[in-house]
Copies of this chain bind each other. A is one copy, B any other.
Amino acid sequence: MPPAEAADPSTEVEVSALLERGRTLATPVLRAAVDRLAPPMDTVAAYHFGWIDAEGNPADGDGGKAVRPALALLSAQAAGRDPEVGVPGAVAVELVHNFSLLHDDLMDGDEQRRHRDTVWKVHGPAQAILVGDALFALANEILLELGTTEAGRAARRLTAATRALIDGQAQDISYEHRDRVSVRECLEMEGNKTGALLACASSIGAVLGGADDTAAEALERYGYHLGLAFQAVDDLLGIWGDPDATGKQTWSDLRQRKKSLPVVAALAAGGPASDRLGEILAEDAKSSDFENFSEEEFAARAALIEEAGGREWTAQEARRQHAIALEALDAVGMPPQVRAQFTALADFVVVRKR
């Protein structure tokens, strides 16, 4: 996927350097924020972020890809400011993201995250609720203590994104109890769960840097559609991803009966493979022995999804959302090298393997 404009060698972008910069600038501020928590919440949060292990010993855990902090710093530059201006925004977004992970893992009963036991598994449900709440509160605190009009605007937008995140989780839960979910409903849910916070990450630095609403909204549009592209790729990896790269089981999303994009697209496609898939999944939903299904049984379901066109549709959807994201950048007058970096991050999101 080529960037929207011809790459100038002088602006050639190293995505890993961008991600690293986000981590380097945001992590110390994030750690200082978490250190404000009263015991034992500080320890529980440090475990969640992978800074210590379950016994309290220092650890160097996988803190995730850190796309959000990188975007937040970049968006400050989109407003013509230093990347540092975006740091409180990067930290606030990371805090909200991790608040939602803590609560979602508990609600969904997920026992593993980033190759480790989840917080509710190690420290109990009450701590998962409590520390999630504390991280959410900290996110607002970090922004509002800046005391500027811009910070108030940023907090307001972050709050709206958080509400969308919560709406998305509510939809996700309600869809689990339904036989059929439409492609539109699935995209709406993924827009809420993934798009809204990436939209906020992609604009919050600019908002803190004094960007007007038009620029902020264009950057949000970029982030929202980048989020949908990200999620489409995630849904592909959730079925066909390499377990060594993703850290998840084979056919992970199928094992969890997740109504992800490839599944709903395959079911909506019609035709023999689609019909057969619908029959099989309806039986699976009633099965009491589902967890003991063999590799071959899951592989057969994945093959039907592919045959019905769900895999190709989702890959196409990722490319479509990627294109809409890049188009949104046209509405923001930003330095060419900053635009090239936004483009490089978008490219990275759709070609990643984990």
Contact = CB atoms under 8 A, between A and B. Distances in A.
A152 B147 contact: yes
A59 interface: no
Contact of A169 (B130, B159, B160, B162): B130
Copies of this chain per assembly: 2
Interface string A126-165: 1001101110111011001101010110011001101100
A174 interface: yes
A166 B107 contact: no
A167 interface: yes
Given A140-B159, A163-B141, A170-B38, A129 B107 contact: yes
A141 B159 contact: yes
Given A140-B140, A141-B156, A149-B152, A130 B170 contact: yes
A221 interface: no
A125 interface: yes
A322 interface: no
Interface residues of A, number: 38
A97 interface: no
A141 B136 CA distance: 13
A173 interface: yes
Nearest to A167: B38
Interface of A: 38, 40-41, 99, 103, 106-107, 125-126, 129-130, 132-134, 136-138, 140-141, 144-145, 147, 149, 151-152, 155-156, 159-160, 162-163, 166-167, 169-171, 173-174
24 contacts: A38-B170, A40-B170, A41-B167, A99-B133, A103-B129, A106-B125, A107-B130, A129-B129, A130-B170, A133-B133, A133-B162, A136-B137, A137-B163, A137-B166, A140-B140, A140-B155, A141-B159, A141-B160, A141-B163, A144-B155, A144-B156, A147-B156, A149-B149, A152-B152
Given A133-B166, A149-B152, 16 more contacts: A38-B171, A107-B129, A130-B166, A130-B170, A132-B133, A134-B166, A137-B159, A140-B155, A141-B160, A141-B163, A144-B155, A144-B159, A145-B156, A149-B149, A151-B152, A152-B155
